[in-house]
Amino acid sequence: MSDTPIHEVYAIRYGEQKLRPEGSTFIGGDPAKMIRGLDFFTYVIKGPSGTFVVDTGMKADLSGEGGRELLVEPADVLSRIGVDPKSVETVLLTHAHFDHVGNLDHYPNAHFTIHEEEMMSITGPDMNYAPFKLAYHKRDTTRLVELLYEERLSFYTEKVTPVAPGIEFHLVGGHARGQLVLRVHTRRGWIVLASDAVHLYEEVEDERPFAIFYDLKDMIDGYRICHDLAGGIDRLISGHDPKVTDWYPAIAPEFEGVVLDLGAAPKR
Cβ contacts of 21 within 8 Å, gap of 6 or more: 29, 30, 31, 32, 33, 34, 35
Interaction of residue 118 with Zn ion, rule CB under 5 A: no
Q: Which is nearer to Zn ion, 99 or 117 (CB)?
A: 99
Nearer to Zn ion, 4 or 24 (CB): 24
| Cβ atoms of 18 and 251 closer than 8 Å | no
CB of 149 to Zn ion, least distance (A): 26
Among the listed ranges 6-14, 46-54, 112-120, 189-197, the one in contact with Zn ion (CB under 5 A) is: 189-197
Q: Is 99 in the site for Zn ion (CB under 5 A)?
A: yes
CA distance 137 to 71: 20
The tally of CA atoms less than 13 A away on the side-chain side of residue 157 is 1
Q: Which is nearer to Zn ion, 200 or 230 (CB)?
A: 200
Helices (H), 12-155: 74-80, 98-101, 116-122, 130-133, 138-149
Whole-number minimum distance, CB 55 to Zn ion, in Å?
Answer: 8
Site for Zn ion in 196-215 (CB under 5 A): 196
- Site size toward Zn ion (CB under 5 A) is 2
Query: Please, what is the minimum distance in Å from the beta carbon of residue 130 to Zn ion?
Result: 18
3-class secondary-structure state, position 144: helix
User: Closest distance between Zn ion and the C-beta of residue 41, in Å?
Assistant: 9
Q: Which segments of 91-153 does DSSP mark as H helices, in order?
A: 98-101, 116-122, 130-133, 138-149
Residue 266 main-chain phi, psi, to 5 deg: -70, 145
Closer by beta carbon to Zn ion, 99 or else 218: 99
Using the minimum distance from each CB to Zn ion, give the nearer residue, 90 or 94: 94
In angstroms, what is the minimal distance from the CB of 57 to Zn ion? 10
Q: Which residues bind Zn ion (CB under 5 A)?
A: 99, 196
